[in-house]
Amino acid sequence: MNVGIYIYDQAEVLDFSGPFEVFSTASRICENDTPFNTFLVSETGQEVNARGEYRIIPAYSFQSSPHIDLLIIAGGVHSSEMKKKTVLQWIRKTSANATVVASVCTGVFLLAAAGVVTKHTVTTHWEDIGDLKAGYPNLNVRESKRWVADENIISSAGISAGIDMSLHLVSILYSKMLAEKTAVQMEYHWKTRSYV
């Protein structure tokens, strides 16, 4: 399964590195199988300057990316991305072809701007709940949840909640045992339930 994580300038570091750690570790420790091929994707494939001057080189551009089965949209300072037609089009098209679409933190704003979530039940960082409700009144925005699933779309609360959501995705896409082993390997106290 190809796990593609969308990153951009001013993306929040833990929003993409947390899920990256979960899926790459799950694949590494999985016995007799490598269930997840995890990679970062940006618009151009060139160096991305994530929040706090953290310079990262994605594996692929929109053009060069292989098919994505699980698309994860990182949050951060997403306002510039909201204005980019190419980005929103790519998110819309890639989401339509993906098995599962996920967002971390404010990544859900990009899913909303791209029209991937319309009347869905979603969540975001506690600081942005008000803005999400105001900007997209048709969404059913939930508070105080680590993550929220609606059909094949799953959105997490802020930053570190992306780790809990990713472990949950490992559990439903592969096995609960692998998700638990991954949390133990990461020495992470997994919030296995979606409520805080």
Binding site for a second copy (CB under 8 A): 12-14, 17-18, 20-21, 24-25, 28, 38-40, 47, 51-59, 125-127, 157-161, 163, 185-189, 191
Quote the DSSP letter at residue 70. E
Looking at the Cβ atoms of 31 and 83, the one nearer to a second copy is 31
Q: Output the smallest distance, CB 134 to a second copy, in A.
A: 21
Least distance from a second copy to the Cβ atom of residue 18, Å: 7
- Residue closer to a second copy by CB (options 112, 157) is 157
Write down the least CB distance from residue 153 to a second copy, Å. Answer: 20
Which one, of 36, 2, 67, lies nearest residue 171 by Cα? 36
Backbone phi and psi for residue 12, each to the nearest 5 degrees, phi listed first: -80, 130
Q: Which is nearer to a second copy, 62 or 147 (CB)?
A: 147
Q: Which is nearer to a second copy, 76 or 139 (CB)?
A: 76
Cβ closer to a second copy: 121 or 160? 160
CB 4 within 8 A of CB 71: yes
Helix axes 13-29, 176-185, angle to 10 degrees: 110
Nearest to 47 by CA among 90, 9, 6: 9
Residue position matching structure tokens 């949840």? 145
What is the C-alpha radius of gyration for the chain, rounded to an integer number of angstroms? 15
What is the smallest separation between the CB atom of 2 and a second copy, expressed in angstroms?
Answer: 13
Smallest distance from the beta carbon of 109 to a second copy, in angstroms?
A: 16
Per the CB < 8 A criterion, the answer to whether 37 and 1 are in contact is yes
Query: Contact at 8 Å (CB) between 185 and 25?
Result: yes
Q: Which two tokens stand for residue 151?
A: 């059909």
